[in-house]
Amino acid sequence: MVKDDGIASETSMKALNIVILASIFILAFGVRLFAVIRYESVIHEFDPYFNYRATIYLIENGFEKFQNWFDDRTWYPIGRIVGGTLFPGLMTTAAILFKVLNYFHIFISIRDTCVFLAPFMAGLTAITAYFFGKDMRDDRTGLLAALLMALVPAYISRSVAGSYDNEAVSIFALLFAYLLWIKAVRHGSVLLAALTAAAYFYMAASWGAYVFIINLVPLYTLVSVLVGRYSVRLHVAYTTFYVLGIVMTMQIPFINYQPIQSAEHLAAAGIFVFMQGIGVLRYLSSRLPEHDLRRVFRNVGLTAVIGFFAVTVALELSGFVTPWSGRFKSFLDPTYAKAHIPIIASVSEHQPTTWGSFFFDLHILAFLVPAGVYFALDGLTDTNLFVLLYGVCAVYFSGVMIRMMLILAPVSCLLGALALSRVLDSLTTAVRSRINAKDVKAVVGAAAALVFLVGLLVSFTRHSVWATSEAYSSPSVVLMANTPTGRVVFDDFREAYSWLDHNTAEDAKVMSWWDYGYQLAQMSNRTTIVDNNTWNNTHIAMVGRAFAQNEDDAIVTIRLLDVDYVLVVFGGLVGYSSDDINKFLWMVRIGGGEFGGVHEQDYFNSRGQYTVDKSVSKTMRDSLMYRLCFHRFGEVVTDRRFPGGFDRVRNVEIGDKDIKLKHFEEVFTSQHWMVRIYKVKLENNW
């Protein structure tokens, strides 16, 4: 009878777990729908527009054509070999989901599939976090991890509905690969290690941050050996994972031979060799007497280490192994990008993270993580060691680059869940035992601490929902502002893209700064010169330099590129600060860095300030960007306290109110002047 009760209780607990997990899944999905409810089912930001376009191509043309896709409508005239220069994981996932749903007569459009993919994957990530937490301690830890994962703002920031980017599926793939890896190590299972490799393959097919896996897993293996946790299980898991993982990832055209040629993958190869050496030594240790073994260890070990470094250096010098990429070097030296690769430094998500961001994106987890580290060290297991290493690396990387907060989010949830679960367990145990002992003071103290913890969780939930609603649910392409008269929607981008779609020739070429390339290609269906892929620095520099030059010089490049229309984004009328004038110095830096002839200091006034007012430098005033943004702006009164031409972003009256264009003709300006389009005049024939 007792046994039956126990089974019944276990069954009901399992059922309860499933119900809670299902609720967490729904919560993870639901909390990410603010954007859809507030705006509409719309793709967000910039990169997702390319992903959306690529998904349409994949579904309409099939995988083979997708793999061989040469896109002649972007990066004109050099084009882009799309199939070989993207991570196909996201599009393939969406395409499969779309096909499966339609097969079962659940008719959903491609756009909706893309819009809702990220929330769906977030639900799966929460479930994965559950199993991870369960592996770390118990069911309750798992449930807490799942809950935190579903709500942590750092992850929500990249997984709201419409945020159709690689990260949408990658975080799931990352956590799932780690979960399988931990299980493979725990069981020494070839099958689980092979599944880890498959999950790693999926991650590699989805996002460049797969490099994090192929470095963290070897690091974990190395540390395990160094702290005396070597086991055959670890050996089997790592060897299987490495070999299969490398072979699998090499099947992705974009990655190609990198797993055996790039410096980022070299550590994994080194650890593979190292593990075989350890295996051989352990085998010999069971066969040879101790003094012979030492000699062998000394001679063979030393030779192996020297040989490995010699081979590595030789491969580096011969050029067979490609050096570390710019992004990877930025991780090791955060100042590297700004000094050497301005195009990487110019991206806002590549900036170092501020302390405020840590609190904003992690909230109570920022404080729970250290406690989690303590508890993980307290009962060190394979899983906890892995989570600790993951946490340390992720904290470092997230400090270097704000985008890496996303990598930090899962491990924060795991460590936070561990800490919470340990504390909650202690407190509930204390309450129960003290009630039995009738120790009122202790009961009240423990109960108060419990209430405080629950309060923290409530506060975390409130913060997460608020952050999702206010900070992470704006689609960027449609903006909203609160005014005394109510909310105002700025739909200028779509208005302008739609104008291009309806009023220009189908083969018209549109030049803009690269930020808008993906949106232009998808929404306007027009050929673009550069876009957010930023694969060709020279081409971007050509565009940057053209915007930085005067009209007569710029027109040479513009005609060379067969440009028909030039599009600029201008925020001076409504105070939209992410406009091209504020991005302009990056164009100057990138253009000047590649070609020379354009110098940043020429764009500052005599006092060394970057300004557009009357003290503006001649070079700045003559630049194409200045002229296209401020053309006719002098006629507009934006603030009654000032005469016409008052720029509400820079808060100054512009210096040149009488701009006459020579080679360009204004053809479209959106309702709030945020997007301005100019037609390039035909060349005089004589």
Partner 1 sequence: MRVFALSLALLLAFSVAQKVGVFFDGEIADYNALISHVGKLGNEVATHKIGELESKLIVDGSSAYDTICVIVPSESLSATAIAALEKHLDKHAGNMYLAFSHTVDMTVRRFLFSHFNVKAGTKEVTAFPRIHSGSPILPKKIDAEAVKYSGIAMFPQSFSGKFPLLYGDEVVGAIATQGHANNARVVLLGSTLPITNTGMADSPTRQFVAATLGWTMGYSGKLRIAGTTHSRVGASHGGYDDAGYAAGDYIEWGTTLEQFIDGRWEPFTPTDAQVELVCMDVWARETLAPSNTGLAATIRAPEKPGVYKFVLDYERVGYSRLHDEEQVQVRQPKDSFHPRFESQAWPYYGSVLAVSFMFVAFVALYLNSAPVSKKVEEDKKDN
Choose the stretch contacting partner 1; rule: CB under 8 A; options: 65-73, 255-263, 288-296, 642-650.
Answer: 65-73
- 376 in Cβ contact with 414 (< 8 Å): no
Q: How many CB atoms lie within 10 A of CB 300?
A: 15
Contacting residues for 532 by C-beta, under 8 A, at least 6 apart = 46, 47, 50, 514, 515, 517, 518
Q: 3-state class of 313 per DSSP?
A: helix
The percent helix, strand, coil of the chain (3-state, each to 5) is 65, 5, 30
Q: Does 644 bind partner 1 (CB under 8 A)?
A: no
Choose the stretch contacting partner 1; rule: CB under 8 A; options: 95-103, 183-191, 450-458, 573-581.
Answer: 183-191
H/E stretch holding 80 reads strand 80-81
Closest approach of Cβ 613 to partner 1, in Å?
A: 38
Choose the stretch contacting partner 1; rule: CB under 8 A; options: 63-71, 158-166, 240-248, 364-372.
Answer: 63-71
d(CA 271, CA 464): 40
Q: 3-state class of 107 per DSSP?
A: coil
Q: Does 62 bind partner 1 (CB under 8 A)?
A: no
d(CA 521, CA 604): 34
Query: By C-beta, is 352 or 379 nearer to partner 1?
Result: 379
- The half-sphere exposure of 638 on its side-chain side, counting CA atoms within 13 A, is 22
What the block records as the tokens of 519 is 């949106």
Query: By C-beta, is 333 or 507 nearer to partner 1?
Result: 507
Q: Does 70 bind partner 1 (CB under 8 A)?
A: yes
- 182 in Cβ contact with 135 (< 8 Å): yes
Closest approach of Cβ 75 to partner 1, in Å?
A: 9
Q: Does 666 bind partner 1 (CB under 8 A)?
A: no
CA distances from 579 to 570, 629, 641, 652 (A): 5, 10, 23, 15
Outline where DSSP puts E strands in 493-593: 509-511, 527-528, 565-569
Choose the stretch contacting partner 1; rule: CB under 8 A; options: 143-151, 228-236, 299-307, 650-658.
Answer: 228-236
Q: Does 290 bind partner 1 (CB under 8 A)?
A: no
Q: Cis (ω within 30 of 0) for the bond into 77?
A: yes
Choose the stretch contacting partner 1; rule: CB under 8 A; options: 227-235, 355-363, 450-458, 661-669.
Answer: 227-235
Q: 3-state class of 632 per DSSP?
A: coil
Q: Does 79 bind partner 1 (CB under 8 A)?
A: yes
Q: Does 77 bind partner 1 (CB under 8 A)?
A: yes
Q: Does 583 bind partner 1 (CB under 8 A)?
A: no
Q: Does 188 bind partner 1 (CB under 8 A)?
A: yes
Closest approach of Cβ 71 to partner 1, in Å?
A: 9
Burial of 104 (0-12, 13-18, 19+ CB in 10 A): exposed
Q: Does 286 bind partner 1 (CB under 8 A)?
A: yes
Q: Does 665 bind partner 1 (CB under 8 A)?
A: no
Query: By C-beta, is 72 or 333 nearer to partner 1?
Result: 72
Q: How many CB atoms lie within 10 A of CB 4?
A: 8
Q: How many CB atoms lie within 10 A of CB 198?
A: 17
Query: By C-beta, is 658 or 683 nearer to partner 1?
Result: 683
Choose the stretch contacting partner 1; rule: CB under 8 A; options: 76-84, 122-130, 517-525, 666-674.
Answer: 76-84
What the block records as the tokens of 257 is 């031979």
Query: What are the beta bridge partners of residue 680?
Result: 664
Query: By C-beta, is 236 or 431 nearer to partner 1?
Result: 236
Tell me which residues in 502-561 interact with partner 1 (CB under 8 A). 507, 560-561
Query: What are the beta bridge partners of residue 490?
Result: 479
Choose the stretch contacting partner 1; rule: CB under 8 A; options: 33-41, 51-59, 68-76, 162-170.
Answer: 68-76
Closest approach of Cβ 67 to partner 1, in Å?
A: 6
Q: Does 279 bind partner 1 (CB under 8 A)?
A: no
Q: How many residues bind partner 1 (CB under 8 A)?
A: 27
- Which of 573, 577, 568, 578 has its CA nearest to residue 645? 573
How far out from the chain centre does Cα 101 lie?
27
Q: Give me the 600-639 binding string for partner 1, x by CB under 8 A, dash otherwise.
A: ----------------------------------------
Q: Give me the 83-102 binding string for partner 1, x by CB under 8 A, dash otherwise.
A: xx------------------
d(CA 233, CA 381): 14
Torsion of CA 345, 346, 350, 354, to 10 degrees: 100
- Which of 16, 15, 26 has its CA nearest to residue 151? 26
- Which of 149, 156, 244, 165 has its CA nearest to residue 206? 165
Instruction: Compute the residue count for the chain.
Output: 686
Query: By C-beta, is 30 or 253 nearer to partner 1?
Result: 253
Provide the edge-to-edge strand list for the sheet that holds 509-511: 527-528, 509-511, 565-569, 675-680, 664-669
Q: Does 679 bind partner 1 (CB under 8 A)?
A: no
Q: Does 68 bind partner 1 (CB under 8 A)?
A: yes
d(CA 51, CA 114): 9
Query: By C-beta, is 5 or 64 nearer to partner 1?
Result: 64
Q: Give me the 230-269 binding string for partner 1, x by CB under 8 A, dash otherwise.
A: -xxx-------------------x----------------
- Which of 621, 622, 657 has its CA nearest to residue 642? 657
Q: Give me the 489-508 binding string for partner 1, x by CB under 8 A, dash otherwise.
A: ------------------x-
Choose the stretch contacting partner 1; rule: CB under 8 A; options: 133-141, 192-200, 226-234, 474-482.
Answer: 226-234
Query: By C-beta, is 190 or 315 nearer to partner 1?
Result: 190
d(CA 199, CA 179): 10
Choose the stretch contacting partner 1; rule: CB under 8 A; options: 186-194, 208-216, 268-276, 607-615.
Answer: 186-194
| Chosen residue from 38, 111, 140, 186 binding partner 1 by CB under 8 A | 186
Closest approach of Cβ 233 to partner 1, in Å?
A: 6
Closest approach of Cβ 521 to partner 1, in Å?
A: 14
d(CA 253, CA 66): 12
| Chosen residue from 78, 332, 444, 556 binding partner 1 by CB under 8 A | 78
Q: Does 187 bind partner 1 (CB under 8 A)?
A: yes
Query: By C-beta, is 84 or 334 nearer to partner 1?
Result: 84
Residues that bind partner 1 (CB under 8 A): 64, 67-68, 70, 72, 76-79, 81, 83-84, 186-188, 231-233, 253, 282, 286, 507, 560-561, 684-686
